[in-house]
Amino acid sequence: MTRIVPTALYQEVAERLRQRIFAHELTPGTWIDEQKLAEQYGISRTPLREALKVLASEGLVELKPRRGCYVTEISRRDLDDIFPLMAMLEGRCASEAVRRAKAADMTALKAIHEQLESAAREGRIDAFFEANQEFHKKIQELSGNRWLLSVIQDLRKVLKLSRLHSLSLEGRLQQSLDEHRVIMAALEAGDSTKAEKLMHDHLLSGREALAKIQDPAVKTA
């Protein structure tokens, strides 16, 4: 019988680097010093390079011939390209979720929506953001389409490279809550067509909000 082996070292290294990138400890455009990282983690450069290949496949780093590895810089053009895709994909998730969700699933989703309402009432932006992430993730899971989920997860990883946070824009938190309310209502009403359109428009609304915010971490081209 084949033994079950622990998580490969390079996968653990990839996850550690991924979290450092998401936390912006390794900022966009940063050159990754492989020798220094290998020494910090107490590993050889072989698993580190394998980890960087994983992150490159996710779009989080760029491997440049004869120049080394750099944390990916996301541009406004990237955001303009990604958000319409996200809108289309998450809209489809909402539509499929209507058709496949059971009563218990909707109860769980409604509980997450209540967390949004509570965070908004108390002006807790970070809590609202976390509940928002859970709300979208739950709808994606309820769609029952693993391929949609996989593509969306990859795109959301790339979006995390940006420090832009639309909820910090005045009035955006309430606008986002209002958008979630009508999406939730469409889901509860079993209207797949309306749920799809509302989710699609919600994502594009988020891009419009981001366009009003300036951030040096985002390139103009």
First-last CA distance in the chain = 54
| Neighbouring-strand partners of residue 55 | none
Cα R_g (the chain), whole angstroms = 19
Domains and CATH numbers, the chain: 9-71 (1.10.10.10), 76-211 (1.20.120.530)
How confident is the model at residue 184, as a pLDDT? 97
Q: Find where tokens 């009432």 sit.
A: 121
pLDDT of the residue at 148? 93
| CB within 8 Å of 193: residues ≥ 6 apart | 95
What is the full per-residue pLDDT of the chain (221 aa) written as tens digits?
Answer: 445 444 688 899 999 999 999 888 998 999 999 999 999 999 988 899 999 999 999 999 999 988 999 999 988 899 999 999 999 999 999 999 999 999 999 999 999 999 999 999 998 988 998 999 999 999 999 999 999 999 999 899 888 887 666 777 778 889 999 999 999 999 999 999 999 999 999 999 999 988 877 554 555 54
Task: Say which amino acid occupies 152.
Answer: I
What is the per-residue pLDDT for 214? 57
- What is the bridge-based pairing of β-strands 61-64 and 68-71? antiparallel
